[in-house]
A and B are shown apart, each in its own frame.
Chain A
């Protein structure tokens, strides 16, 4: 069974960089043709796709967040990461990592981690 687990600081100061890591276990990380995705959800709102990364390092980003987003992958650790720069209170949300088959079908999700942007 594939499992994903987010980790990172729960509190980030405005203008700083939010950094999260997702660790994948129980499945094939580098082969299988999957995309590893970041999705966020502000309290009481819908889901927002942030972007995804392939095991090769190829990335796709939400155009509205592209200028502030950087994703990376470490296949030796079965991990992928998100950096979101110049954060504001609007970036406060639960951040999820998930596995995408390539067409936007997210079969497996992490439990989510709350990140609050506040001084």
Chain B
């Protein structure tokens, strides 16, 4: 069970859109539609932003969207705002009742 692969950092200017990738294997992301994304501000616990690849929990802005193609899932944030600056973590069900996370991506709003 290897960690999912995320870029270490991404950046964008206010109002722009950015996409964070999360690459797994055919044993996790590629097989199961159980990818979730978490936003984490410094010193805080992670907060669920997307689940089941594309679904948004109540209260999460529709500027956040998720998708998947093959073994790679993606989180897109449109209309970037200063408050979106945070770390983002992807997570996937990996079969055999196990779960795997990505290494995390630091988003900088320029």
Q: CB within 8 Å of B: which residues of A?
A: 37, 39, 45-49, 52, 60, 62-64, 96, 100-101, 103-107, 109-112
Q: Are B45 and A112 in contact (CB under 8 A)?
A: yes
Q: Are B52 and A46 in contact (CB under 8 A)?
A: no
CB distance from A107 to the nearest CB of B (A): 5
Q: Are A106 and B46 in contact (CB under 8 A)?
A: yes
Contacts A64-B1, A105-B52, A107-B57 known; A96 to B99 CB distance under 8 Å?
A: no
Q: Are B45 and A49 in contact (CB under 8 A)?
A: no
Q: Are A105 and B104 in contact (CB under 8 A)?
A: no
Q: Are A46 and B97 in contact (CB under 8 A)?
A: no
Cβ of A49: which chain B residues have Cβ within 8 Å of it?
Answer: 91, 98-101
Cβ of B36: which chain A residues have Cβ within 8 Å of it?
Answer: 104-106
Cβ of A62: which chain B residues have Cβ within 8 Å of it?
Answer: 1, 98
Interface size for B (C-beta < 8 A) is 27
Complex Cα–Cα for A106 and B92 (A):
11
Q: Are A45 and B104 in contact (CB under 8 A)?
A: yes
Q: Are B46 and A104 in contact (CB under 8 A)?
A: no
Cβ of A107: which chain B residues have Cβ within 8 Å of it?
Answer: 48, 51, 57
Q: Mark B80-95, 1 if CB is under 8 A from A, else 0.
A: 0000000001011110
Closest 7 A/B residue pairs (Cβ): A46-B104, A60-B97, A46-B103, A103-B34, A109-B45, A104-B99, A105-B51
Complex Cα–Cα for A96 and B51 (A):
19
Q: Are A63 and B1 in contact (CB under 8 A)?
A: yes
